[in-house]
Chains A and B, each alone.
Chain A
Amino acid sequence: MSVLESRVSENPYEIRNEAHTIMDKYVYVYRTGTGLEQGLRELRALHRRAFRHVDDQAMEYNSNFINVLELESMFEISEIILVGGLNRTEPRSAHPRADYPTRDDEHWLKHTLVYYKANEPRLDYAPVTITNYQPTERHY
């Protein structure tokens, strides 16, 4: 059944607000392994809720339809952020891990690649090409 015909009852906009709250709480500035695991559990539970329906049945400028599709994509992207962050056991730029305070170039000087797979994303890694600027530790 398409999302336009679905008749489930939960308000997708409220689900979106809850997803914001989860991401804000566990994945925002400071991250920890336990926090990210908890965030992933809560986000997956939220993703299973019955929000996939569109009240607006018009064929013209139907932003309700777009919003529901966007929410589905937000869940996928949020999961990628959570899983990628959980695996990277070091802090790096916008990913400060409170439980791993020191940057680890030996193991983690590499890009995280994420591929779509049913149920959960598949992770892979690619080497970093270093050109003019050598990686150094950041001091503030």
Chain B
Amino acid sequence: MRVGETFKLRVRRENPATNTGTTYQEFDIPYEPGLTVLEALLHAKESFDHSIAIRFSCRMASCGSCGMLINGLPKLACYTQINETSTATITVDPLDHYPLVRDLVTDFQGFFEKHKTVSPFLLRQNIAEQETSKSEYYQTNSELDGFLQFSYCIKCGLCNAACPTMANDSKFIGPQALGQAYRYVADSRDEGAIQRLKAVDHEHGIWRCHFAGSCSFVCPKGVDPALGIQKLRGLTLSKSSASRAGTSLMPVKTK
């Protein structure tokens, strides 16, 4: 596509509160190099129809607000350029597996509730020490490498929208929260592994995943939640022997 040409942006419109059904609205958007789907949507909102509902904030793939289906795939609108898509018409839909608020805006309340169930913060046995700590908790580079990629999660929820298991089981904790469970379990500064593994060891937890891997495929930040879930399974299976030995759940380094 060249400067001066226009392309069609097809936007799904729906307001469940007014029960007016689903329609698609088409806009002709002028192309320019580097134009993102979010900018195209804002152009449509500002110039053609002020009532399009879009959620966005940072415009640079760090807030995780503008997740939507772009030509059927879960993507961040701000992180997807028009020239990445090969079709003449670009269709945008709200994310799957979330309740619809309106147009492209979905409700993340349940998503964040599931995220909370895995205690996504450092847990220490000695809480008084943690609250009054005089220095940082040290960590080697290789210890950091063990979980670093999982800490890039921005809670955009694309993985849960891509997950086929989320489609079948609304109670499934989902790849986002499970990936974050692993992020803290694998952190050498954390001492809450047993509590966290217990929170995911049930029929709507790690065992429900059937390893389609679509969560890892769509993650815009390079997180591999599917890997995290497999690691959680391994750790859960070795949990009893590890707790008997009174050692860390992470593989013990031999000197």
A positions within 8 Å CB-CB of B: 11-14, 54-64, 67
Q: Given A63-B53, A64-B51: A58 and B18 within 8 A (CB)?
A: yes
Other-chain residue from A55, A58, A63, A64 in contact with B15 (beta carbon distance below 8 A): A58
Asked whether B50 lies within 8 Å of A13 as measured between CB atoms, the reply is yes
B residues less than 8 Å from A54 (CB atoms): 50
When C-beta atoms are compared, the residue in chain B nearest to A57 turns out to be: B51
Q: How far is the CA of A58 from the CA of B15 in the complex (A)?
A: 9
Asked whether A60 lies within 8 Å of B15 as measured between CB atoms, the reply is yes
Other-chain residue from B46, B49, B51, B54 in contact with A58 (beta carbon distance below 8 A): B51
Asked whether B101 lies within 8 Å of A64 as measured between CB atoms, the reply is no
Interface SS of chain B: loop
Q: Given A58-B15, A58-B18: A13 and B53 within 8 A (CB)?
A: no
B residues less than 8 Å from A67 (CB atoms): 50
Asked whether A64 lies within 8 Å of B50 as measured between CB atoms, the reply is yes
Q: Is the CB of B221 closer than 8 A to any CB of chain A?
A: no
A residues less than 8 Å from B58 (CB atoms): none
When C-beta atoms are compared, the residue in chain A nearest to B105 turns out to be: A61
Asked whether A11 lies within 8 Å of B101 as measured between CB atoms, the reply is no
- Beyond the given A12-B50, A14-B46, A62-B53, please list 10 additional residue pairs across the A-B interface where CB-CB is below 8 A: A11-B46, A11-B47, A13-B45, A55-B51, A56-B51, A58-B15, A60-B101, A61-B103, A64-B45, A67-B50
Q: How far is the CA of A64 from the CA of B51 in the complex (A)?
A: 6
Asked whether B17 lies within 8 Å of A56 as measured between CB atoms, the reply is no
Q: Shortest Cβ distance from B75 into chain A, in angstroms? A: 20
When C-beta atoms are compared, the residue in chain B nearest to A14 turns out to be: B46
A residues less than 8 Å from B101 (CB atoms): 60-61
Q: How far is the CA of A67 from the CA of B46 in the complex (A)?
A: 10
